[in-house]
Amino acid sequence: MNSIKMLAIAISATAMFSTAAFAAGDAAKGEKVFKKCAACHSIEEGKNKVGPSLHGVIGRECGTISDYKYSKGYQDACEKGFTIDEAFLDEYLKDPSAKISSIAQTKERSKMTFKLKKEDDIQDVTEYLKQN
């Protein structure tokens, strides 16, 4: 009987901590955070700036905007093939060059030098991007 109680407690604790670790961001706050990104990115479909449009970015295959010139490092990473998802953005927004280098398995630089340092900002802007 004690082992069943312990198992139930362990499962409850795991669920509680997992939910906190992967809590959804706040899209309204993310829209405000995105203003920092808007100097180089738009969320309008087909409207690239210095960076590519981020319209529909969640679920997009790497490097698939045909009228945007990606950096060599990003192209090298895209050759490995990956889809942009929440887990990718979580790491990429913290340090774009490090994430691209880890995928390409070589020292690469991203055109994106801007980094988000706060986990809440990353979750919020990701939630905002999911809706656009």
What is the count of structural domains for the chain? 1
In a domain, 52, yes or no: yes
Query: What are the counts of helices (DSSP H) followed by strands (DSSP E) for the chain?
Result: 6, 0
Structure tokens belonging to residue 90: 């979580």
Domain that holds residue 78: 25-130
Q: If residue 29 lies in a helix (H) or strand (E), which one and from where to where? A: helix 27-37
In a domain, 72, yes or no: yes
Residue 5: pLDDT above 60? no
Q: Which of 4-13, 50-59, 66-75 has the lowest mean pLDDT?
A: 4-13
pLDDT at 77 over 50: yes
In a domain, residue 16? The reply is: no
Would 4 be classed as within a structural domain?
A: no
Q: Give me the percent of the chain exceeding a pLDDT of 70.
A: 83
Please state, in angstroms and as integers, the Cα–Cα distance from residue 63 to each residue in 8, 31, 91, 120, 124, following that order: 45, 24, 17, 27, 24
> What's the pTM?
0.78
Q: Are 84 and 60 in contact (CB under 8 A)?
A: yes
Q: Which amino acid is at 88?
A: F
| Predicted confidence (pLDDT) at residue 15 exceeds the cutoff of 50 | no
In a domain, 11, yes or no: no
Reported as a pLDDT band with limits 50, 70 and 90, residue 16 is very low
Structure tokens at 11: 């499962």
| Residue 40, domain member (yes or no) | yes
- Whether 9 is covered by a domain: the verdict is no
- Look at residue 104 and tell me if it is in a domain: yes
Q: What is the rounded average pLDDT for all residues in the chain? A: 86
Read off the tokens for 124: 């919020």
**Hey, which residues does 61 pair with through a beta bridge?**
83
Confidence of residue 98 (pLDDT cuts 50, 70, 90): very high
- The answer to whether 103 and 77 have CB atoms below 8 angstroms apart is yes
Sign of CA dihedral 121, 126, 131, 132: positive
CATH number at residue 116: 1.10.760.10
pLDDT of the residue at 103: 93
Residue 109 has pLDDT above 90, yes or no: no
